[in-house]
Amino acid sequence: METYESVKSNPVQPEQKEKKKGGAWKGIVAVILAAGVVGSTTISAFNLVTLKSYIAEQKKEENPETTEDYVKIADNYEIKPTTNISDAYKSGDTSKLTDKEKETLDMAKKAIKDMKITDSMSDFEKEKAVYDWMTKKLQQDSGALTVIPSTQEDCDNPYGVLKYHNAVCVGYATTFRMFMQMMGIECKVEHNTEKFHSWDVVKIDGDWYITDIYSDAGNGNYANFNVTDAMYGQSQSWDRDYFPAANSLKYNMAYQNKKTVDSIYDLPKALRAAMDKKLGGVMVAFKEDITEEKAQVANAIASSIDNFLMSGNYKDMPYSLGTYNWIQDPDGKGYLFNVTMPGYNTDNTSQNISEKEQKKIDKAVQKAFQGLESANGDGMMMDGASADIENKDMTMDNAAQNGATFSTEETVEAR
């Protein structure tokens, strides 16, 4: 399936500034060029060759050769190959496996049985079964006590992921890849340029798709399942020259959930319907022709919805819209407005606090802090209402769960 995809207007997500590295050499080049201009109208051939060589060396130091495996993410978690395990599964020969690898293989076999995967299933059905199982059965490795992590060990590889059911992004990515390879489905682990996040790119029916199970863990709403480079590139950057391009929408769930409405002013109703179904994403098609002006109006509508969601705390609604952008409909019928809704506000909290315990917490806080005078001198907080308190110590993980986004300079841990 050939897909023509493009971003119609500027990305509406807040711009993410990439961390600059080694900018000093660019300043040196600027000085050399300036000197050449001042001293003469041209730069000698010798100096030009020297300058090009210098630039190449500096770029090589800044950007080491991209590889799939043996890459450190967040300086702590390493992407390692698991082909020996998947090969042993397909051949039935485990003689070359270590005891740890044999245990990993046994756990993987049990997981596949639990997924109810059969040989008669298509590659897409197998992939979806693995995604569903992993997003429901596994948890992100983030304990309340940072010095006592939830996972005992190996949170970045299939052994620890399957044994303890907790993982960092590297664990999710390498485990998903291992399952795909066990089933004969081509799959690679990608990582972003800044090396703080990793995910998978999987080949289904001849086309590549990006799948980020870590980002969908706990909800499994397909917001980051089988997305394209253009969709995922709204929030991440990576070496697109090294990794295969993901451009097809055929097996993307938001595309399969495509809704057609009359005009851009029907967009709020369409998004609300998708939210009521707790979809992770939806693509909206329009019967009217989309001009640049109408595209900007739709962007403004999405921004208004995003602000509305973030300003409240609405049960069973998304914390915010994830990303929204225009892409060309692969059917050749104009443009689609693509919207992701990654996280929903449900009764389940990240701290796993029961309703009874939460009431005790609220009562204790109100008792200790009621009667405090406002710093602005505009009254008393008699009931300890939490709505008037800003949590200045919110962690990045908690903030992200509430819809916040960070620049690459602020994000320092594996996601």
Task: Give me the CATH number covering residue 209.
Answer: 3.10.620
- Phi first, then psi: what are they for 377, rounded to 5°? 70, 25
Q: Which domain holds residue 69?
A: 65-251+396-415
Q: How many domains does the chain have?
A: 2
DSSP state of 344: B
Residue 32 lies in a domain: yes
> Is 42 in the same domain as 85?
no
What does each of the 415 residues of the chain score in pLDDT, given as a tens digit?
333 333 323 333 333 333 334 445 445 544 443 444 344 334 445 455 555 555 555 554 555 688 999 999 988 899 999 999 999 999 999 999 999 999 999 999 999 999 999 999 999 999 999 999 999 988 765 444 333 345 547 899 999 999 988 889 999 999 999 999 999 999 999 999 999 999 999 999 999 999 999 999 888 889 899 999 988 998 899 999 999 999 999 999 999 989 999 999 999 999 999 999 989 899 999 999 999 999 999 999 999 999 999 888 788 898 888 889 899 888 777 899 999 888 887 644 445 567 788 888 888 888 888 877 766 555 544 443 333 333 333 343 443 443 444 333 333 344 5
Residue 128 lies in a domain: yes
Residue 149 lies in a domain: yes
pLDDT for res 331: 78
pLDDT for res 148: 39
What HEC string does 47-113 produce?
HHHHHHHHHHHHHHHHCCCCCCCCEEECCCEEECCCHHHHHHHHHCCCCCCCHHHHHHHHHHHHHHH
Is 218 exposed, middle or buried, given 0-12, 13-18 or 19+ CB atoms closer than 10 A? middle
> Is 110 in the same domain as 28?
no
> Is 58 in the same domain as 133?
no
> Is 44 in the same domain as 106?
no
pLDDT for res 387: 38
Domain endpoint, select from 62, 89, 119: 62
- Round to whole Å and give the CA distance between 328 and 83: 37
DSSP state of 402: T
> Is 30 in the same domain as 129?
no
Residue 230 lies in a domain: yes
Cβ neighbours for 232, distance < 8 A, ≥ 6 positions apart: 199, 210, 212, 224, 246
pLDDT for res 365: 86
> Is 227 in the same domain as 87?
yes
> Is 145 in the same domain as 244?
yes
The residue among 322, 339, 340 whose CA lies nearest residue 402 is 322
- For residues 280 and 305, the answer to whether their CB atoms sit within 8 Å is no
The residue among 114, 154, 106, 104 whose CA lies nearest residue 134 is 114
pLDDT for res 141: 53
> Is 198 in the same domain as 84?
yes
Residue 282 lies in a domain: no
DSSP percent split of the chain into helix, strand, coil, nearest 5: 40, 15, 45
- Round to whole Å and give the CA distance between 121 and 115: 12
Residue 158 lies in a domain: yes
Domain endpoint, select from 37, 62, 87: 62
> Is 29 in the same domain as 98?
no
Cβ neighbours for 265, distance < 8 A, ≥ 6 positions apart: 301
The residue among 359, 357, 379 whose CA lies nearest residue 370 is 379
- Round to whole Å and give the CA distance between 126 and 111: 13
> Is 154 in the same domain as 37?
no
The residue among 51, 50, 71, 58 whose CA lies nearest residue 23 is 58
> Is 51 in the same domain as 161?
no
pLDDT for res 4: 33
- Round to whole Å and give the CA distance between 233 and 283: 17
pLDDT for res 363: 86
Residue 349 lies in a domain: no
- Round to whole Å and give the CA distance between 102 and 99: 5
> Is 42 in the same domain as 171?
no
pTM above 0.85, yes or no: no
- Round to whole Å and give the CA distance between 158 and 174: 7
DSSP state of 386: G
Residue 219 lies in a domain: yes
- Round to whole Å and give the CA distance between 161 and 27: 46
